[in-house]
Amino acid sequence: MTNTPETLLPTRYRLQDKLGEGGMGVVYRATDRLTGETIALKQVQVPAEYLQFMSSPPETVSHNLQVSLAREFQTLATLRHPNIISVLDYGFVQTETEPQAFYTMTYLPVAESLLEAGSQLSVEGKMELIQQTLQGLVYLHRRGILHRDLKPDNVLVVDGQVRILDFGLSLQQSKVGKEEAPSGSAAYLAPELWEHGSTSVVSDLYALGVITFELLAGQHPFGALDHDFVDRVLKADPDLNLPGVNADLAQVIAKLLSKTPDERYQHASEVQAALHTAMGQPVPSETNLIRESFLQAATFVGRKEELEQLNAAIIQTQAGQSPVLLIGGESGVGKTRLMDEVRIQAMLQGLTILRGQGVEGGGLPYQLWRAPVRRLLLMHSDIPDLQAGILKDLVPDISGLLDREVVDAPKLEGHAYQQRLILAIVDLFRNLREPVLLLLEDLQWTGESLAVLQQMIKV
C-alpha cells in the first residue's frame, strides 16, 4: 500500500486541499482536530543534508542533521511577532527511506501578496507596508534568523497587516544548480549569491530593496528573467527616477540595491531609520509583546548531566519500560526549556509526545490530563463505548474526536465517580500500542490530577 500525505501525518491533522508547492515541499490547508481550527501544514520533502540551518550542524550524519532540523523548528515555534507568521507545531513522520519533517502555521484565508496589497496605495501607504516588513526582519535578524528567500509571495498582507512567512529554512546553494532555482526566488537574489557568496542579513535587505522598487515602479529593477538578467543584476544600475519618489527615498533604495554587500545597510533597523527620515515619519517603538518573545526564544545551553539522564529514560521507554523522572527547580531556571529539548530527542526516536499543563488556581477538574487524553483519543478512536462515555466529562467534544456518537456513562457521584474516571484515564494509557513520552508541567497546581499519576505509577 502506498502512503499518502494524509496517512503519514499524525491523526491530529486532516488535510483539506493543496495550497502550493515549491522547491522544499508542499503546503496544505488542514484541520487541527484538537482545536478545530484551519491551519496551513507544510511537508518538507527534501533531505536534511540539503538544507541550510540557522547555525551549522555539529556533524553531517543523518541523525544529527535531524536533531538540528528539529531545533530549527523548536526555535521557529517560539517566535511571536505581529509581522511574522506563527509556527504552531512540528514533527517528523517515518517514510520508507527516512523521517520527513512537517510543520504547521497560522492559516491566512484572505491574504494578498505585498505587491497585490500595495498596488493601489499612495507612496506613504506603500512605505507603511515596507516598514512593517522591516519590523519583522529586525525581529528575525536579532534572533539570528535569516529569511534567505524574501519575495512578494512570502510577504502577505491581511487587513493592512504584513505577515512574513517561509523564513529560517532554505536549500543550500551548493545543492541546487542555477537552472533549478525557482524563478520567483531568482529575481530577488543578491549579486553576491550569483557568484557563490553566502546568504546574510544584507542579502535579505537586498531582496527587500527589489521588492520596494517593484512596489513603487510596478516592475522589477532589472527587468525580466531572461538570459541577460544575471548580467544586469551584476553590472547595471536601476533607474530610480520613479513617480512620487523623492531624492531621499531614491537614495535609500539605491543603497539597498548596491552591488557590494559592504555598501548596503548592515541592519534592518538602519533601513527603518533611513526610510522614516526620507518620509518624515517617526521610528516606531518596540512593543512589550516583541520584547517578551526575545526572552521566550532563548537558546538552550548546558544541563548536560540532566539531559543524559532524560535520554536514558527515553531509551528505557523504547525498550518497554516506564521510567518516571521529576524535574524540580525555582521558576525561571529553565525547566520548560529542558523539556523542550527532551521533546526533540524523543520525537526523533519515534516516541509520541503528550504534554499536560497544570494551571494556577487549579483550572477545570483534572486539568492536567485534558490535553494528553485528547491526543490519545485521536490516536486510538476504537476505545469501548463505556470508557468513552466516562471520559466525556473530561473531553466534552469526544464524539467529534472519535467520529462517532458517544452517550453519557451511567451516573455516579462522589468517590465512586472519581475512581471510575481515574481508572478510565489510566486504562487509556495502559492500552497504548506505541511508546509515548508524557510531559507534565507545573505539578504544584494540579490538585486531584495527582491521583491519576499515582495510580498510573502503581500500574
Contact predicate 391/427, CB 8 Å: no
3-state secondary structure of 391: helix
> CA-to-CA distance for 351 and 44, rounded, in angstroms?
20
Buried b (16+ CB within 10 A) or exposed e, 327-362: beeeeeebbebbbbbbbbbbbbeebbbbebbbeeee
| Encoded amino acid at 86, one letter | S
Distance CA 173, CA 199 (A): 9
Residue with cell string 494528553: 372
**Residues with catalytic roles:** 149
Contacts of 360 (CB under 8 A, 6+ apart): 442, 445
Q: By the 8 A CB rule, do 64 and 79 touch?
A: no
Amino acid identity, position 249: L
The three cell numbers of residue 67 are: 536533531
Cβ–Cβ < 8 Å for 194, 181: no
d(CA 317, CA 320): 5
What SS3 state is found at 120? Answer: coil
CA distance readout (Å), 79 to 84, 105, 136, 165, 338: 8, 12, 11, 12, 18
Cα 26 from Cα 102, distance rounded (Å):
10
Cβ neighbors of 260 (< 8 A, separation 6 or more) are: none
Query: Which residues, in sequence order, are bridge partners of residue 28?
Result: 18, 41
**344, 328 Cβ separation under 8 angstroms:** no
